[in-house]
Amino acid sequence: MTSLAVVTGGNRGIGHAVCARLAADGYKVLLVARDPERGRRAAAALAGDVTYVPGDLTTLASVRRLAEDLRDRCPRVEVFVHNAGLWPSRRVLTGDGLEESFAVNHLAPFLLNHLLEDRLGRVVQVSAGIYVKGRAEPGRTAVGAGFSSLRTYADTKLCNLLTVPLFAERWRERGITIDAVHPGVIRTGLGDRGGVLGRLLKVAKRRWATPEEGAAPVAALARGTGTGRYFDQDREVPLEGPARDRDLARRIWDEAEELTAAR
């Protein structure tokens, strides 16, 4: 039987390149993206067995709908790559009253892990090295209190990363593994802006690595067997700063459970 992989944010950038690599490795790939036209076009552009699945990660209700769709399609998910990410330019609250990047970067993977854990084999969380600049503050980060584009993005990535070791412990007896990876500074559309700042960023991005290069360590971890680890590209490294705070990790986990009603 063909192994199945799910990749969120698979319509462009690193996610699209990860889909290409996994399909080339013989996986049946479900490419998850919010925009149907872009998602179908992205899936059709790839060789191999790649199918578009609609998935909006901004609200808890839409995440639950995606989980139900995946459960209907997949008796088993050998590899789930949480790649979708949002770098906000302004504070936007979702229909749940949560800051949008917190919902997409942190709560959506957390809830999907819970809703699908009886089907999962291997989880790869695409992270970001900027987590070291973040502060995870229960009750504040969730609503974007003190919003700033850079800090808020770092905060949400830290929240997400804090839960990875806890998922590893939760799943150890079930044989499910999870690792996180910072794929490098990659030339994608993440964080694109308008105006002068946007033009300067586009110039800077010309020197950054390609999505295909960023996809390499992600796809490599899809074939990995370890759990609870963090990688800077292809190198396992220890977590730094607040990401090592076990008490904070438990508080972030408890808050996510309360916000998502996941147990």
Task: Give the CATH number, domain containing residue 88.
Answer: 3.40.50.720
d(CA 4, CA 161): 24
Other CB atoms within 10 A of residue 184 CB: 18
Res 196: pLDDT? 46
Res 185: pLDDT? 75
d(CA 111, CA 108): 5
Catalytic option among 27, 52, 131, 153: 153
Res 67: pLDDT? 98
pTM: 0.92
Closest CA to 123 of 131, 134, 112: 112
Res 197: pLDDT? 47
Pairing of strands 229-232, 235-236: antiparallel
Question: Is 27 annotated in the active site?
Answer: no
Q: Give me the mean pLDDT over the 207-231 stretch.
A: 90
Domain count, the chain: 1
Residue 90, pLDDT > 90, answer yes
Closest CA to 144 of 108, 96, 99, 93: 99
pLDDT digits (tens, 9 = 90+) for 32-88: 999 999 999 999 999 999 999 999 999 999 999 999 999 999 999 999 999 999 999
d(CA 146, CA 104): 19
pLDDT digits (tens, 9 = 90+) for 163-205: 999 999 999 999 999 999 999 876 555 555 455 445 444 444 4
Phi, then psi, of 79 in degrees rounded to 5: -135, 125
Name the residue range of residue 238's domain.
Answer: 4-260
State percent of the chain over pLDDT 70: 90
Q: Give me the mean pLDDT over the 83-104 stretch.
A: 97
Closest CA to 145 of 133, 135, 132: 135
Residue 214, pLDDT > 70, answer yes
Q: Give me the mean pLDDT over the 6-26 stretch.
A: 97
